[in-house]
Amino acid sequence: MAGRFAPRNAPRTALPHPAPVPAPSSGPVPASAPTSASGSAPKSASGSVPDTDALTREWTPPGPFDLRLVIGPLRRGPADPTFRMTRDGTVWRASRTPAGPGTLRLAARGGRIEASAWGPGAPWLLDRLPTLLGATDDPDAFRPRHRLLALTRHSRPGLRLVRTGLVMESLIPSILEQKVTTDEAYRAWRLLVRGHGTPAPGPADHAPFTALGLHVMPDARTWSLIPSWEWHRAGVDAKRSATILRAVRVARRLEEASAMELPEAAARLELIPGIGPWTSAETLQRSNGAADAVTVGDLHLPGIVGHALAGNRDADDEEMLRLLAPYEGQRHRATRIVLLSGRTPPRRAPRRTRGDIARL
């Protein structure tokens, strides 16, 4: 599920919340325009001035904020070609927006989030920056009924639910994760995006950026043209690839779900054969910031929730939903907090062996 584990190098303390800073009225501005108190252009993580084609924006979170914790669920494995986290805390994302490909760079600086964006999708990404980072989310709507959740929420106050507004970029990797290990799914996503996506826009003369190897995922037409042997080579069976092909044929209709309420959005996605409650929840947690999109049908989550809240590591979906009933409307947030608590049952069996149909 989204945010199964906390980032390994995520800071344990949230950003301090300074006095509110008025947001620029002009919205995104060219990177060459002065935006800092000293009147100089913002600098990249390596200290060099970003490409002049970049747009920049600053946003001050309305409360405690942990950038890596918020944005982390969008990363599909440590080698995700659309997502990079650097050692200094900077986050890079490549997205296919309604306006075209775009690259977004995020960095936490002194209680603010500094953003730079490149490509045709840059204005779209910066316009939606606060929404992406949880400005429309309401963490205070969650009322912990279990001591574990209260303590975990107190220790990780910077959690907000991400909302990308992009359905397909979360739906396709979620379909790839059906009925396989995460390693298999991450490998398939990596191979397909690198093989059929496009290099992400950005400061081409900026060596640290080029070293990231960011790619934008393929558009709907390109997904539909991937030959069967390429799916096979990536380890994707016919059932999952057929589901993706059915989805990309109606990609525009599915993208409309990003503006729908949770029940209607889930129903829209689940009209596609091969997309069930597990896949729709995994998608809408990210695209819609759906606080109540609890993941059912997961192999591990019921046991984790059951162990954390009732000492029952053998809980099934029915038992998990019963335990989460007091959090109706916030059940996804409750499960994220459970996962952040680290209260998971000890492993009783060896890790599942990774399959590889590419060898067949």
Whether residue 208 has pLDDT greater than 90: no
Could you report the per-residue pLDDT of 101-137, keeping only the tens digit for each? 999 999 999 999 999 999 999 999 999 999 999 999 9
Residue 353: what pLDDT?
A: 66
Q: Which of 49-53, 144-148, 318-322, 340-344 has the lowest mean pLDDT?
A: 49-53
Which pLDDT band holds residue 216 (cuts at 50, 70, 90)?
very high
Residue 135: what pLDDT?
A: 97
Residue 28: what pLDDT?
A: 59
Could you report the per-residue pLDDT of 37-52, keeping only the tens digit for each? 333 333 433 333 344 5
CB 173 within 8 A of CB 189: yes
Question: Rounded to two decimals, what is the model's pTM?
Answer: 0.85
CB 63 within 8 A of CB 73: no
Cα–Cα distance measured from residue 30 to residue 45, given in angstroms and rounded to the nearest whole number: 18
Whether residue 14 has pLDDT greater than 50: no
Close Cβ partners of 249 (under 8 Å, ≥ 6 residues apart)? 220, 224
Which backbone phi and psi does 26 adopt, to 5 degrees?
-90, -5
* 76 vs 47, more confident: 76
Whether residue 138 has pLDDT greater than 90: yes
